[in-house]
Amino acid sequence: MSKLVVIGGGIGGLGAAGLFARKGYDVTLVEKNANLGGRANIFESDGFKFDMGPSWYLAPDIFEHFFRLMGERVEDHLDLVKLSPSYRIFFRHDPDRLDIHSDIERDAAAFDAIEPGSGEKLRAYLKQSEYQYGVATEHFMFKNYDRIWDFLNKRVATEGQKLSVFSKMHNFVSRFFKTKKLQQVMEYTMVFLGTSPYEAPALYNLMSHMDFNQGVFYPQGGFYELIKALTNIAEKNGATLLTSSPVKRIIVENGNARGVELASGEVIEADLVISNADMEHTESRLLDNGHRTFTERYWRKRVMAPSAFIMYLGVSEKMPALIHHNLLFSEDWRRNFSEIYDDPRLPDEPSLYVCAPSVTDPSVAPKGKENLFVLVPIASGLEINEDEKERYADRVLALMEEEMGLTGLRQKIEYKRIYTVENFAADYNAYRGSALGLAHTLMQTAIFRPKNFSKKVKGLYYVGAGTNPGIGTQICLISAELAYKRVHGITSPGPLSQL
Ligand SMILES: Cc1cc2nc3c(=O)[nH]c(=O)nc-3n(C[C@H](O)[C@H](O)[C@H](O)COP(=O)(O)OP(=O)(O)OC[C@H]3O[C@@H](n4cnc5c(N)ncnc54)[C@H](O)[C@@H]3O)c2cc1C
């Protein structure tokens, strides 16, 4: 039986552990932290249960596919609720809120009320998003790329041109919608991909298929229920999952990966190694110089996705102005993105996201209280001292009070934890403390994203957000399937029907 070591218990690592264990490999996963789940982490304090990272369960079909491959059904593991409305948008200096319902009749009417005639345009836009999502899942997302022609093939050349998928997202959206408000609504998902609408290729308009057409889901009990499910499934198939076990180095003999040495000095031998740790960490810290596919210079030149200024808040009262997912958009959108990518600093007029899972789920907060997760995207690599953190927290809270109908919020906070750049770096070995990893610019997409195997070390593979297809919980499960395909020489472009 082949022995496999997986470094890191994020979603990509857990997915890979499950797939290979099911195929009969002897799998040991080693995770540095006390919890599995990586960035999809959790902590509890003062009666509040905080999901630390992901909160939007999107593209349920991709999760279903993974569970099916593992011989399981999502509904046997997760109690998914379809949120309605899906999310609420607050605009600056504007008392009107926009609720997106993921119901085309209601959403088109809401669009028309903002920009007459835009309801029809929304229908056309979403048709294209749906088409692109279908093409992407059937032909691109589940495909390993080796040569440029694997990506820039005839289909991409003709359809890409027809659908303008390589133009910039903002230009593409502007062709459909004229008001800034609606442009922001169609563009905000670029932040999920760690990029800006001024940089992202329009092919990512497929994201709108996820939130508008498919809807937004929530696993009752919290997002960490997904991690528990992936853990149970991997263990059920025989994988051994070890926590508090940081890897110090990958053992390489005669150009082959032969296992790992833990910080404790323990050696775990293997025939194959799959790393789910951030790729920069794996390459620059766990391998010797001669075994690195990518140089320090390569990493310095990458565009990193934003980090985040996050507050986990326990609030003593319910906050009726909020629904489960809430977004506040900055008025000066372009400047806000520029403060994240071009001129790194804490944004003066930030856009922000507030998740209130206790609106849907009584188990995450004491009775009558609210659990809030507040996220401001900020530049990766930013250094912020303790005073600045507190000042910025106060500023963001004041903004929420003013613009989101949360009068007196600051007096009602009974628990607060700030989590930002240095925490991502320390907790997950995240390069430049990025929350999401490598941004999805065109030059960091598909064939241009780091491949999922080492060119220098045979038997060393990669999974997770840093390789293909990229960022996102369900997307990292696809990365596990891509590593599986790579190891077994499977070149089909679509999802596997069986292992
Ligand atoms: C704040 C936030 C909000 C998000 N929101 C959403 C959302 O709503 N929906 C969504 O789908 N996605 C969301 N994402 C993105 C999604 O969570 C990530 O893309 C995904 O979870 C990354 O998984 P991964 O497989 O890359 O592993 P990671 O989560 O990066 O895990 C890698 C693991 O490797 C471990 N490791 C590192 N070095 C070592 C070592 N030397 N030895 C052993 N272990 C090591 C780390 O501790 C970590 O556990 C969000 C992310 C963040 C941070």
Q: Which of 103, 53, 328, 297 is nearest to 216 (CA)?
A: 103
What is the Å distance from ligand 1's center to 118 Cα? Answer: 37
What is the Å distance from ligand 1's center to 119 Cα? Answer: 37
Q: Which helix (H) or strand (E) holds 126?
A: helix 118-135
Query: In angstroms, rounded to a whole number, what is the distance separating the alpha carbons of residues 153 and 319?
Result: 51
* The dihedral sign for the CA sequence 425, 302, 279, 190: positive
| pLDDT over threshold 90, residue 490 | yes
Could you count the other beta carbons within 10 Å of the beta carbon of residue 320? Answer: 10
| Tens-place pLDDT, residues 235-259 | 999 999 999 999 999 999 999 999 9
Our mutation pick for probing the ligand 1 site, out of 39, 242, 309, 460, counting the most ligand atoms within 8 A of Cβ, is 39
What is the Å distance from ligand 1's center to 95 Cα? Answer: 36
Query: In angstroms, rounded to a whole number, what is the distance separating the alpha carbons of residues 84 and 88?
Result: 10
Domains identified in the chain and CATH numbers: 3-41+222-294+450-487 (3.50.50.60), 84-215 (no CATH), 303-428 (3.30.519)
Query: In angstroms, rounded to a whole number, what is the distance separating the alpha carbons of residues 474 and 79?
Result: 17
DSSP code of residue 308? E
Query: In angstroms, rounded to a whole number, what is the distance separating the alpha carbons of residues 401 and 322?
Result: 11
DSSP string, 373-430: EEEEEE-TT----HHHHHHHHHHHHHHHHHHTT-TTHHHHEEEEEEE-HHHHHHHH--
Q: Is 380 in the pocket of ligand 1 (CB under 6 A)?
A: no
| Tens-place pLDDT, residues 268-323 | 999 999 999 999 999 999 999 999 999 999 999 999 999 999 999 999 999 999 99
Q: Whose CA is nearest to atom 14 of ligand 1?
A: 54
Q: Is 325 in the pocket of ligand 1 (CB under 6 A)?
A: no
What is the Å distance from ligand 1's center to 59 Cα? Answer: 18
pLDDT at 235: 98
What is the Å distance from ligand 1's center to 38 Cα? Answer: 4
- E strands within 31-130? 42-45, 48-51, 80-82, 87-91, 97-100
| Tens-place pLDDT, residues 173-222 | 999 999 999 999 999 998 888 889 998 989 899 999 999 999 999 999 99
What is the Å distance from ligand 1's center to 373 Cα? Answer: 17
Beta bridge partners of 6: 29, 274
Q: Is 227 in the pocket of ligand 1 (CB under 6 A)?
A: no
Q: Is 11 in the pocket of ligand 1 (CB under 6 A)?
A: yes
Q: Whose CA is nearest to atom 12 of ligand 1?
A: 472
pLDDT at 163: 66
Q: Which of 425, 322, 320 is nearest to 382 (CA)?
A: 425
* The dihedral sign for the CA sequence 222, 227, 229, 232: negative
207 within 8 A of 151, measured Cβ to Cβ: no
